[in-house]
Structure 1
Amino acid sequence: MFETILNEEERGQVGIGTLIVFIAMVLVAAIAAGVLINTAGFLQSQAEATGQESTDLVSERIDVTSEVGIVGNNSTGELESIRVAVTGAAGSDQIDLSETTIQAVGPNGQANLVFTDEAANGTSLVNNESTYNASSLNASEFAVQDSQGDWVSSGGAVLDDENDYTIVLNPGAEPFGSLTADGTDGTAVYGGTWTYAHQTADEEAFGQSQSSSLEIVSPASATTSLELTSPDLYSEDGEAVRL
Structure 2
Amino acid sequence: MKANSKVCLRKDTRAQVGIGTLIIFIAMVLVAAVAAAVLIQTSGVLQQKAQATGKQSTQEVSSNLMIKSIDGVRAKTGTDMAGNISLLKLNVGLNVGSSPVDVNQVVVSITDGTTTNNLIYANNDKTYDAKMGGFPAANASANLKELLTNSATPGVNGKYFFTAEKIRDEDGSFTQEKPVMNTGDLVTLYISTVAAGDVGDTTVGSVTTGGSMGDSGLVIEPRTTVSLVLTPEAGAATVAEFVTPSSYGIRENVQLYP
Q: Name the SS of the counterpart of 1:139 in structure 2.
A: helix
Q: 8 Å contact 1:99–1:218 — kept in the other structure?
A: yes
* TM-score, length of structure 2 as denominator length: 0.69
Distance 1:139 1:17 in 2: 81
Q: Name the SS of the counterpart of 2:74 in structure 1.
A: strand
Distance 2:133 2:52 in 1: 43
Aligned to 2:176: 153
Amino acid at match of 1:188: G
- Report how far residue 38 of structure 1 moved: 1.0
| 1:207 is the counterpart of 2:221 | yes
Residue of structure 2 aligned with 1:109, choices 115, 131, 142:
115
Give a deviation string over 1:181-239, Cα, whole Å, max 9, x none. xxxxxx7335441653238xxx7622222223222122324321222322222111413
Aligned to 2:5: none
Q: Give matches, 1:67-216, under 5 Å.
A: 67-72=70-75, 77-116=83-122, 121-122=133-134, 124-127=136-139, 129=141, 132=145, 135-136=148-149, 137-147=157-167, 153-155=176-178, 157-172=179-194, 188-189=200-201, 191=203, 192-193=209-210, 196-198=213-215, 205-216=219-230
- Report how far residue 87 of structure 1 moved: 0.7
- Report how far residue 141 of structure 1 moved: 0.9
Q: Name the SS of the counterpart of 1:207 in structure 2.
A: coil
Give a deviation string over 1:108-167, Cα, whole Å, max 9, x none. 33342100169965254443737827633421211102239xx96122x22224531011
Q: Percent identity?
A: 25
Structural RMSD (CA): 3.3
- Report how far residue 56 of structure 1 moved: 0.8
Q: Name the SS of the counterpart of 2:223 in structure 1.
A: coil
Aligned to 1:238: 252
* CA gap 1:126/1:221 in 2 versus in 1, 3 angstroms: farther
Give a deviation string over 1:39-80, Cα, whole Å, max 9, x none. 111111111111111111122221111122223369763001
Distance 1:123 1:102 in 2: 19
Distance 1:190 1:120 in 2: 21
The number of equivalent residue pairs is 214
Which consecutive residues of structure 1, in runs of 5 or more, have no partner in the other structure? 1-10, 180-186
* TM-score, length of structure 1 as denominator length: 0.73
* CA gap 1:117/1:237 in 2 versus in 1, 3 angstroms: farther
Distance 1:207 1:71 in 2: 10
Structure whose alpha-carbon radius of gyration is higher: 2
